Structure 1
C-alpha cells in the first residue's frame, strides 16, 4: 500500500503552493496530491473546504493530511469524516475544538509575536507580502504569485472548527525564519495545544516554495 499525502494550502486555497513538495514526494514514491480550495467563493467556508478535500481523497485509505497555515482549520473537519493515518501541521494555525480562524490570532497572541520579532530583527512592522511571505522565495515564484493572486473570503474565518478527536499520529513542522508565525510562537502553540515540539526546517512561512526538499524530508520523517 502506497502512503498518500493530502497537501492542504492555507488562506487563498492555492494547491500550487505545494507543487515543489508534491513533486519531491512523488519522486520518493509517495502518492502526494495538492488540493485547491474554493477560497475565493464567498458562499464557501470550512465545510466546503472539507468537502473538497474529502472528494480529492476519494477511496484512498492510507492518507496523511499535511496542513499549511490556515489549512490547519480545514484538516480537523476532514479527519472527522474520513479515516486518516495522521496529520502534519506546517507553519499552521493549530486549532482548538470550536475555535474560529478569526479568533485564533488573538487567542494565541500571533500579532503581538509578529510585531515583537519585527522590531527585534529590524524589518518593518507594517504588513507587506514581500516582507512577511516572500522574503526567502525565489523571484520567479514570487512573480508567478503576484500574477495569480489568491483572495480569501471572510466566510472561513468565522466558521467554528468543530471536531471531537485527534488523529493517532500528529506532528508539527515550523519554519525557522517564518515572519508571520514566528518560531517562538509556533513552539509555544504546539506545546500548549498538542503537547509536542515542532520539527524546525529552514525557510519562512512559504517554506514549501523556498526550501521544498528540506520540507518534504521533514514531512516524511514526521510520519
Structure 2
C-alpha cells in the first residue's frame, strides 16, 4: 500500500483525479487530492506546496505511515508544486505526468521560453497549430464528452503570483523521479517532452497513449502505471536521484 499525493495542473482541481483516485483506492492505496488555491492572488508556489503538505498531515512523515511509501504525483504545471513539495516532505517517489519540469529559480512564466517549448513550436508548424486551438481541441480531445464538459466547467483562473514566483529549490529534490509523457498530447508534444526530460532530469521518459489529460481520458491505465511505480520501489527502477 502507498500514499499518493496527487497535484492537479494549472487552473485545474482535485476533481480531475477522482477516477484515478477511486481506482488506486480499489488497489489498496491511500490518495490525497486537494484543490490548490490557484485563484488566490496572495498564494504562490510555496502556499500551494503547503496546502498539499497540510492535507497529508502525519502521512508526510515516514515514521507515521506504517510502512507505506509516499508517492507525489504532479500533472502539467502541478510539477512545479509537486517537486517543491518533495523538498518539504519525506517522499519516496516523485512522478511527473505530462509535467513542466522546472529548473532552480525558474518561474512558470519563464518556463515556456527557457525550456525550449516556444522554440519547438516555432520550428514545428503542426505542433504550434495544435497547441493554439481551443481548450477542448488541445486539452480534452480524447476525454469522454461528459467528463470534458465538466472539466472545462470546473476550470479556474491561475493567480499571477504563482506564475511569477521562482521555483524555490536550488537543485532537484533528492527523490527518485519518473516522468510519464502522453504520446498524443497536443499541448506538450511527445518529441519535445522526451528532450525536456532527458535534458533536465537526465532520464528517459516513460510513455503512454492519450492526450494531455490521461486522468480523465485513460484513468485505469494511468492508475495501473502509478500502482506499478509504487510497487517498483521495492526493486530496481530507472530514476533520477
TM-score normalized by the length of structure 1: 0.92
Equivalent of 2:151 in 142, 145, 155: 145
Give 1:50 deviation, angstroms.
0.8
Query: Quick check: 1:155 aligned with 2:155?
Result: no
Contact 2:127/2:189 (<8 A) preserved: no
Distance in 2 (CA, whole Å) between partners of 1:115 and 1:214 is 32
Distance in 1 (CA, whole Å) between partners of 2:195 and 2:174 is 21
CA gap 1:165/1:136 in 2 versus in 1, 3 angstroms: closer
Q: Deviations over 1:95-137 (max 9, x none)?
A: 111111111110122134346556269x656331011101111
Distance in 2 (CA, whole Å) between partners of 1:125 and 1:70 is 16
Q: Deviations over 1:120-173 (max 9, x none)?
A: 69x656331011101111100112123323211211111111213423311010
Query: Which ranges in structure 1 are unaligned for 5 or more consecutive residues?
Result: none
Match of 1:43 in 2: 42
Equivalent of 1:131 in 130, 134, 137: 137
Distance in 1 (CA, whole Å) between partners of 2:228 and 2:125 is 31
Match of 2:233 in 1: none
Query: Which ranges in structure 2 are unaligned for 5 or more consecutive residues?
Result: 63-68, 231-241
Match of 2:200 in 1: 193
Contact 1:76/1:162 (<8 A) preserved: no
Distance in 2 (CA, whole Å) between partners of 1:45 and 1:104 is 16
